[in-house]
């Protein structure tokens, strides 16, 4: 299986190259020269077995540790560039940057050295797999998002260390495949990464643009200072390209995005190009591709959460594990009750479900509202209420009256059941709420009231058991 680390097969593709767009070059003043093939030579304790790829800064070889035979990847700076002090510093800065961050989803670099003859190199873990650029497109959105979520974790770690990658693209996101394990992702090639620092010390101060144009954020394309939101933009371009097979912006539109003072048309929603893309995922990508960095997700973990939520399968409401399923469940009113009793439940051939009243504190904190609840268990309960529902993962503060005792509770909204679903399932619209850190007293009271639950049909003509 082919392994490509940090460099593509395009010689110009390390600093600024891209298979889709023309390149932005970095003038070094160094004489141009064909890369030297060092296959078969030994650098330190590493014998170079074969060439894996070459780029504008260096060549990557499959290496073998001569003492124990372990396989590694060795990245060698092109000898004709080794005379330039600034390029040597940039080359070694990549290794130092990676080790400063030190994250499982970032390729690990564990040696750096210089061999006789002015050959500069560092040694990395050898990864079996392929870059995202080699996978068929369009990709399955769910599979793609799981891989991008790992990239977000890596970016979050880098950004918290003050490091911006600045050259994220499918070539630099490597899918590792090991027998018996789920595919995992590594972020590669921090060769143009930069720790955030005053502009006077930054390469971009001299007007040098580093990166790959098709994936660069407008502010980066224009040579302005960048932060982690530029990486979020690049990851969103990658996601759009892999999900649809097309780049979000046409050739040349980046200049308009970066330099125009007027409005610029946004990209077509991804689901209009690839029907397999959920519309919610389209919305997430459009926000991450916003022209102004202030309009994007503020952090990599925010982007990750939005990606996962957009592709998560709908969660169907289910009865608590300790209660056998019912063929039919008469339910209370779907409307929130405000200081009055709701309409009575008509008698039926099935025992009505037990109900409780929760006094929910509104988010403003100014007042409360009473809500009928069913399906009480140790894990949570179901609140019967009308739409619009509070958003998923909203925290609710409320009190419950259990066995004559009012007890304070906190919960998180984890499920919505709208009117259409409620009709299909013969239940009330509302939200499922999961308890947050339930107290021992709350668990005790739930255990006390649960034995009185009646789950079998009542004989015809009898009166259902009263709520204790």
Instruction: Indicate which residues carry an active-site annotation.
Output: 167
As a whole number of angstroms, the distance between CA 56 and CA 24 comes to 12
As a whole number of angstroms, the distance between CA 364 and CA 371 comes to 17
As a whole number of angstroms, the distance between CA 430 and CA 380 comes to 13
Contact status, residue 406 vs residue 358, Cβ threshold 8 Å: no
As a whole number of angstroms, the distance between CA 105 and CA 58 comes to 23
The gap from C-alpha 318 to its chain's centroid, in whole angstroms, comes to 28
Instruction: Write down the H helix ranges in 333-409.
Output: none
> CA separation (Å) from 178 to 63, 84, 105, 128, 185?
20, 39, 15, 7, 12
Q: Find the helix or strand (DSSP H, E) in which 187 lies.
A: strand 184-187
In angstroms, the first-to-last Cα distance of the chain is 68
Quote the DSSP letter at residue 38. -
Quote the DSSP letter at residue 31. P
Cβ-based burial of 132 (10 A; exposed 0-12, middle 13-18, buried ≥19): buried
As a whole number of angstroms, the distance between CA 203 and CA 180 comes to 44
Nearest 5°: phi and psi at 441?
A: -65, -40
As a whole number of angstroms, the distance between CA 22 and CA 209 comes to 13
């Amino acid at each position: 299986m082919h392994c490509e680390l940090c460099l593509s097969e395009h010689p110009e593709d390390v600093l600024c190259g891209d298979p889709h767009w023309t390149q932005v070059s970095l003038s070094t003043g160094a004489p141009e020269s064909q890369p030297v093939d060092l296959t078969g030579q030994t650098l330190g304790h590493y014998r170079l077995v074969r060439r894996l790829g070459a780029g504008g800064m260096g060549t990557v070889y499959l290496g073998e540790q001569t003492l124990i035979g372990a396989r590694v990847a060795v990245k060698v700076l092109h000898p004709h560039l080794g005379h330039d002090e600034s390029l040597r510093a940039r080359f070694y800065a990549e290794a130092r940057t990676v080790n400063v961050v030190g994250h499982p989803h970032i390729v690990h670099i564990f040696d750096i050295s210089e061999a006789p003859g002015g050959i500069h190199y560092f040694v990395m873990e050898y990864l079996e797999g392929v870059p995202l650029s080699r996978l068929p497109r369009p990709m399955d959105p769910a599979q793609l998002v799981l891989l991008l979520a790992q990239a977000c974790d890596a970016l979050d770690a880098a950004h918290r260390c003050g490091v911006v990658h600045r050259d994220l693209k499918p070539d630099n996101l490597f899918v590792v495949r090991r027998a018996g394990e789920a595919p995992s992702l590594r972020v590669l090639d921090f060769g143009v990464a930069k720790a955030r620092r005053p502009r006077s010390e930054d390469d971009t101060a001299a007007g040098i643009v580093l990166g790959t144009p098709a994936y660069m954020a407008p502010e980066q394309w224009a040579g302005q200072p960048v932060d982690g939101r530029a990486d979020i933009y690049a990851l969103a371009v990658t996601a759009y390209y892999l999900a649809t097979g097309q780049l979000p912006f046409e050739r040349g539109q980046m200049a308009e995005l970066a330099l125009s003072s007027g409005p610029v048309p946004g990209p077509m929603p991804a689901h209009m190009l690839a029907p397999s893309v959920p519309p919610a995922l389209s919305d997430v990508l459009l926000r991450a591709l916003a022209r102004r960095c202030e309009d994007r997700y503020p952090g990599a973990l925010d982007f990750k959460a939005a990606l996962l939520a957009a592709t998560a399968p709908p969660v169907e409401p289910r009865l608590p594990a300790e209660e056998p399923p019912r063929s039919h469940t008469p339910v209370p009113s779907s409307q929130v009750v405000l200081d009055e009793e709701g309409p009575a439940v008509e008698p039926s051939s099935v025992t009505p479900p037990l109900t409780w009243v929760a006094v929910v504190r509104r988010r403003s904190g100014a007042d409360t509202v009473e809500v009928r609840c069913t399906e009480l268990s140790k894990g949570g309960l179901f609140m019967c209420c009308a739409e619009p529902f509070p958003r998923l993962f909203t925290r609710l503060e409320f009190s419950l009256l259990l066995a004559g005792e009012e007890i304070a509770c906190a919960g998180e909204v984890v499920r919505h059941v709208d009117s259409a679903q409620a009709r299909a399932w013969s239940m009330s619209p509302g939200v499922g709420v999961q308890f947050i850190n339930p107290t021992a007293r709350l668990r005790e009271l739930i255990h006390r009231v649960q034995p009185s639950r009646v789950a079998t049909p009542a004989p015809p003509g009898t009166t259902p058991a009263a709520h204790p």
